[in-house]
Amino acid sequence: MRITMLGTSAAAPDPDRGGSAILLTVRGRHYLFDCGANATRSMIKSNINPVDVNTVFLSHLHYDHIVDFPYFLLTTWICDRERAPVVVGPPGTQDFVDHLFENGAFAKDIEARRQYPRRQNTEILVPDVRECEPGTVFEDEFVKVTACYVEHIPQEITPCFGLRMDTIDGLSVSFSGDTAPCDRFIELSKNVDLMIHECTFPESAIKFRQKANVGTWSHTSPKELGKIAQKANAKSLVATHFASYDTCNPVVKDIMSVHMPKDIIGPALLNEVAEDIRANFKGELRLAHDNMRIDL
């Protein structure tokens, strides 16, 4: 099994990190968890043909987790995709998809391109959407994927899911989506080989945000993350969904200065994050970067 971290940032635009996207590959078959900004280009950078990705899971409908989906599907359509993908996501996913293609935002593009003889196959642009509830959300001969609610956006707006994949080879990987510390996700992740968990802000930014009264949805701090991975008995942990706090780019620094003191932003902050996670988690730890590959 191979895991490719295609995109590892949160919502801020970051030239070095794309939006949330993780590719899990089991016996050569690809499964995409989230489709944030740059996911498709990142697949190509990792030598994965996006045409071969036929199953997509969306943890929730925040744009940093879904915005590349129309690019992914339209691009693979013109690159001779052979079938419409399966899309598993929270209630609201069908509505999101329905507003994109033939009757939506890209209607004129599709109308124009279908004038070409080889672009008659617009059924490719009608994904098999499966809106899910907690429990088993997908199964094929190689994998079973289960989901639980996590704590992020108010449920009445849209539920957010944590996901777990168990493979035919006895391997397991869980992914938190975006969430505050969540017992249901710890339960879902029990004894996983690899936990991939959001770690949006370092402790120093969290303190700053509290004082600055920056409005936010719920996330998990590095110290909390260590406890979560320890409680779940995860063999290995990948922290991801970093709010660009390690950037060297002056524009991103300006943007992120709403969330944390500008002078602490930079690669060294990752050392603090690693130390804070390790204070509570004794297993193997990786801090994600785009195109990072993990073989299990």
Question: Using CA atoms, how far apart are residues 204 and 272, in angstroms rounded to an integer?
Answer: 9
CB of 3 to Zn ion, least distance (A): 18
Neighbours of 116 (CB within 10 A): 9
Q: Whose CA is closest to 131, among 100, 159, 165, 173?
A: 159
Question: Using CA atoms, how far apart are residues 187 and 162, in angstroms rounded to an integer?
Answer: 11
CB of 49 to Zn ion, least distance (A): 26
- What residue spans of 100-193 are helical by DSSP H? 107-113, 183-188
Shorter beta-carbon distance to Zn ion: residue 124 or 195: 195
β strands within the chain, DSSP E: 2-7, 21-26, 29-33, 53-57, 86-89, 128-131, 135-139, 143-149, 161-167, 172-175, 194-198, 236-240, 284-287, 292-295
Shorter beta-carbon distance to Zn ion: residue 13 or 283: 13
Q: Which two tokens stand for residue 234?
A: 């995860």
CB of 20 to Zn ion, least distance (A): 6
Shorter beta-carbon distance to Zn ion: residue 62 or 197: 62
Shorter beta-carbon distance to Zn ion: residue 8 or 189: 8
Helix (H, G, I), strand (E, B) or coil at 130: strand
- For the chain, the C-alpha Rg in angstroms (whole number) is 19
Question: Is residue 246 within 8 Å of 199, Cβ to Cβ?
Answer: no
Question: Using CA atoms, how far apart are residues 171 and 143, in angstroms rounded to an integer?
Answer: 10
CB of 162 to Zn ion, least distance (A): 12
Shorter beta-carbon distance to Zn ion: residue 112 or 154: 154
Q: What does the binding site for Zn ion look like in residue numbers (CB under 5 A)?
A: 62, 64, 178
Helix (H, G, I), strand (E, B) or coil at 174: strand
CB of 200 to Zn ion, least distance (A): 7
Question: Is residue 186 within 8 Å of 232, Cβ to Cβ?
Answer: yes
CB of 139 to Zn ion, least distance (A): 26
